[in-house]
Structure 1
Amino acid sequence: MRAWLLTKVLVAIAALIATPVLAAPKSSKGTAQEPKKDAKKETKGEKADPRVWVLARGEDTIVLRFGLPRAADPVFAVACQPGAQLIQFTVEVASGKVKAGDGVALSLAAGKRRLELAASAFRGAADGRVVVEAAVSLEGRVLDLFSEGETLVVKMPGASDSYPLAGAKAKLPDFRRACLIGR
């Protein structure tokens, strides 16, 4: 439970830190550029996913999180604690089959890489949501999960979701460097 609370605090810090990072890039004339729109999505009438990957640093923890900009709670986060040699995965899902207090088989897959974890479920911030959390030893090959494929697929009993990895791949070198410092 203590690790979950630490993750929640770091995620809130990440939301505050992320604000300037998410600003539109400026052109050489000093004005903000319009973001490019995805033509395929517009022609189908679908809206682009507003969630983004953000890298945030706390005192002794680095968090790579995926969620709405400035939101306190991401839908997915991976936090590394170099001092403790731990990496923690956190995903928030609709409660469905998973209830607070349950042990959960959590599967993360991207490209040809797969990571199977034993996780625990906790009550989420919103009604009908749970936070599923797993921690493993900090190793570089665990981080390779984010460099494979285009999508991270997260599965557990009664729930499955996928997250685009394009934004995570751009932040992965900095995340890896910060996590594996001193190795």
Structure 2
Amino acid sequence: MRRAFLLGLLFSLAVLDHSAAAPAKPAAKPAAADARTWAIVKAEDSYVMRYGASRVPDPLFAVACQPAAALLQFTVDVPAGRIKAGDGVAVSLAAGKRRMQLAATAFRGAGDRLVVEAAVTLEANVLDLFASGDQLTVSMDGTREAIPLAGAKAKLADFRRACLGAS
């Protein structure tokens, strides 16, 4: 089932829970450093450039290409809330001066999370989004998350070559 395969790739973005937290104790340890990085993985006939913690099956954000199908797919992982499985979701991606508006659909993900995914035709100019600006801003359903692009820029040439062939 194609949908199951694509969901197995789960390239996602976690929307942080901004619920009220108890005040920190004076002797509290500093927060752990962000262990999320960009990586490229190959899965059957797809290549995935993902942003997340290593050894975690569900990255926070990812984009996958299927060269044979000329398809580029974005997936965003979000907690259950106002978005329900089956809902249409408008997703905005922005980096530097580049902007993309995507029509996405929400599906059930792992646990109580949802996966929002959108697909576009695989074109070189779409991948240019990852070379623009210092961060990728993902907006949907009243939420906004910024993802650093420094690591993506380092991987982009390899991802572009895998998706589009030698250029």
Common fold by TM > 0.5: yes
- SS of match in other structure, 1:83: helix
Deviation at 1:121, TM superposition (A): 0.2
Give the match for residue 144 of structure 1. Answer: 128
Deviation at 1:11, TM superposition (A): 5.3
Give the match for residue 62 of structure 1. Answer: 47
Deviation at 1:182, TM superposition (A): 6.8
Give the match for residue 92 of structure 2. Answer: 107
Q: Percent identity?
A: 60
TM-score by length of 1: 0.76
Contact preservation (8 Å) 1:93, 1:159: no
1:68-94 deviations in whole A, cap 9, x for unaligned? 110011111100000000000001012
- Looking at secondary structure, tell me which structure has more helix per residue: 1
With a CA cutoff of 8 Å and minimum separation of 6, indicate the structure with the bigger relative contact order: 2
TM-score by length of 2: 0.83
The one-letter amino acid of 1:144's match is D
Give the match for residue 7 of structure 1. Answer: 6
1:96-137 deviations in whole A, cap 9, x for unaligned? 32111100001011111011000000112021x211000000
Q: How many residue pairs end up in the alignment?
A: 150
Deviation at 1:46, TM superposition (A): 4.5
What is the rounded CA distance, in whole Å, between the counterparts of 1:75 and 1:162 in structure 2?
11
What is the rounded CA distance, in whole Å, between the counterparts of 1:90 and 1:126 in structure 2?
16
The one-letter amino acid of 1:6's match is F
Structure 1 residues without counterparts, runs of 5 or longer? 13-44
- Looking at secondary structure, tell me which structure has more strand per residue: 2
Show structure 1 runs of 4+ deviating over 2 A: 7-12, 45-48
